[in-house]
Structure 1
Amino acid sequence: MTGDPGLQPERTRLAWRRTLLALTGVTVLLVRLALTGDLTSVLLAGLALLTWLGTLAANWRRATGTGPRWAQRWSFPLTALAAAGFALLGVVLVGRGLR
């Protein structure tokens, strides 16, 4: 059973929007967790914000269905790298005893 092929681009855009929303939520939680600590934690929060901004910039065109093809080619690897980085930051912050 196949769906309407005209809806596939819309489903893809919605999936990318959900991905950006999830990364936004993780960034907010990491910043909140990091700001309860020392200077190193604040620097990690800044790194999380910069990573989020870079991912947002790279994926915005894909999530909205606008923009050049080259931007769409890099969005998946950058998102995977950002997700791995956020997981590592979370492990570091929790490992440091921040709650």
Structure 2
Amino acid sequence: MSGGAARDPGLQPERTRLAWRRTTLSCTVVVALAVRRLAQGTAPGAAAIGAVALTGVAWLLFGLTAHRRMRALATGRPAALDARCAGLAALCTVAVAVLGGVVVGGG
């Protein structure tokens, strides 16, 4: 393949975009369940409010990172995900999982 040839990515960008959307949807469900539990009053006080707030912030940061990455995938040759962005996405995913488990799981 010559250096100036167009790249044929196949379905890889679409699979990656769908993975970002699937993870964002999972995070959204966790936040919705946490807020529902808090609204029902079955979660314990200030700790639950703090956990829901932190989960919401992590969800928002992950959503922004995912949106940015999905937009980059629309180009023919997207730039590589920088380490800062990848670290933020990983941190937010873990935070949503842990805090969601605390609030939804009754911790």
Indicate the RMSD between aligned Cα atoms, in angstroms.
Answer: 2.7
Q: Any unmatched runs of 5+ in structure 1?
A: none
Contact 1:51-1:82 within 8 A present in 2 as well: yes
Question: Alignment partner of 1:30: what SS?
Answer: helix
Matched, 1:31 2:41: no
Q: How many residues align?
A: 92
Partner of 1:90: 100
| Contact 2:51/2:102, CA 8 A, preserved across alignment | no
1:43 aligned to which of 29, 50, 67: 50
Q: TM-score, normalised by structure 2?
A: 0.65
Contact 1:55 1:79 in 2 (8 A): yes
Q: Which 5+ residue runs of structure 2 have no aligned equivalent?
A: 1-7
Do 1:31 and 1:45's aligned partners in 2 also have CA atoms closer than 8 Å?
yes
TM-score (norm 1): 0.69
User: How far did 1:60 drift?
Assistant: 0.6
C-alpha separation between the residues in 2 aligned to 1:6 and 1:15? 16
Q: Percent identity over the alignment?
A: 39
- Matching residue of 2:3: none
- Matched to 2:17, the amino acid is R
1:95 deviates by 4.8
Higher RCO (CA-CA < 8 Å; seq separation 6+): 2
Contact 1:59 1:75 in 2 (8 A): no
Matched, 1:81 2:107: no
